[in-house]
Structure 1
Amino acid sequence: MSLVGKISTEIGVHASAEKWFNLFAKQLHHVQNLCDRVHQTKLHQGEDWHHNESIKHWTYVIDGKVTTCHESIESVDQANKTINYKLFGGEIDHQFKVFKLIFQAINKNRGGAIIKWTFEYEKTSEEVDPPYGYVEYFHKCTSDIDAHLLKA
């Protein structure tokens, strides 16, 4: 059994891909006010939330358990509305040697968008389960955020 894996999920939303990408590229600090499962975010290191060298600290609920991690941006592709994140620290380091999150907002032809979340990971051992709790978490957060973006 392989320790390396990749899980992708696509979620249809009503708000435009532009609104979604703008939120994650320029207003990420607002996510804590939009999702029930995000308890707190704070800038851990750096001066700007959206600089590649900045590190953010997140407190959130996965599988009913309060969890923390650090996050940094690895790359931003504005043309493809894609952002690559690295998650580390806290519970993640106990289960994964590598944990990357890729966000992509894709326009639909008839309005709205598809939000694609991709999780690339390397488990610390075969006993560790794939990060299905994160898939469920991001589905719920996507729904919460979409409701907010429709009002904006």
Structure 2
Amino acid sequence: MSSTVTMLDSLPSAHRRAFLEHAKKVSFPQSWRICDEGRFADRFWVVESGAVSIDMDVPGRGAVSVETLGPGELIGWSWLFPPYRWQVGAHALGSVGAYEFSGAEIRDLCRENPVLGQAIVLAAAQTIAQRLGSARARMLDIYGPRLQEHS
């Protein structure tokens, strides 16, 4: 699990409270498919308890885990950007509690309250940047030694 700043941690407390007012508490049993790559992203979640595996479909290998998320972390940002299609899949590694949000409702909230909207979008952007940095580091771990062999 990540040791980085989580989605909820990055929101100022007043914005966090306003954001969480739009949440519905949900739970997922072990192995539950939370979302599937390529499907419509009409909602998203913030993990409250437990762990979630983020996976990608790899031709010939099926769903391959690429990251594990824990409490406070955002599951998905595809709800934020058209065409609103999941770029990854996710499943519960054990029993998971989460806050569920409607993507359309939060997009409307961001338009209606630009200050809160900016805080939410910046928190999501921080999550995206951290995950891209983590993915880059993992790729360098995998491919870096091979690149050095060819130099």
TM more than 0.5? no
Question: Which structure is higher in helix share?
Answer: 2
Instruction: Report the TM-score, using the length of structure 2 for normalisation.
Output: 0.27
Question: Which structure is higher in strand share?
Answer: 1
Instruction: Report the TM-score, using the length of structure 1 for normalisation.
Output: 0.27
